[in-house]
Structure 1
């Protein structure tokens, strides 16, 4: 997301090799909030720490090894208010459904980068769209979607995308 790889890929296919508008921001010294520190979340914590970021973590089960490595566990409110980047690595449970919603987005920094590779229903799609429109969310990286069973893993090329929320999400640069 930060390096605009998708945009760069499309440019190269058009034989446009300009770097204009492709350079992301340096994440060194930025604050990365990671929700869920199971196996994948723990690896992501270590990767972000290695890149020189301050890592804030939240999980109902703290990983003592991560704490020993300098990862700081905080409450969700602090993670939302202090993070420049937030990445979700938690399971979908009744407690985590729509964890990212209008209220939690309002607590985030302006321009926050939000990544969800866990479960689509962790985020309220309507609230995400509003956050993107208001530029509260500066970048969104998802490979999951709240209503993904209707579109993911299917070839729907050559058809009209019926899901209006997904249409909106894919329209943002």
Structure 2
């Protein structure tokens, strides 16, 4: 069994929820947030849209400068841009890791801020990262009386 397949399955579940939310959003909804000094839904969705590619870069030891340059170039603003980037970056992650062997997954890489994990552990971080922000989406919508009543898990 491919050791990474269950992680991708869980990411697909998270994506399904995120895409369902995007489908019912209006552009004006994107300014909702958890409060002052917190990300708006637009910022949260934009962040989710880049996680897969950004975190893949981190998984492969990208430098702080490389990450800053990446974020400067990747900041979707509209619902359509967010959806397209989320799907594109997820496909990118799947494509780039499809040929990884168990040995490749055990390779330890170090982030620009000094944390060292195996590539497999970085994938667990990606999963946690996506689910964390998916939970924030749910919270923003719930506190603004916009709970989409979409199933979060299988």
TM-score above 0.5, yes or no? no
Name the structure with the higher strand share: 1
TM-score, normalisation: structure 2 = 0.25
Greater RCO, 1 or 2 (C-alpha within 8 Å, sep 6+) = 2
Name the structure with the higher helix share: 2
Name which one, 1 or 2, has greater alpha-carbon Rg.
1
TM-score, normalisation: structure 1 = 0.23
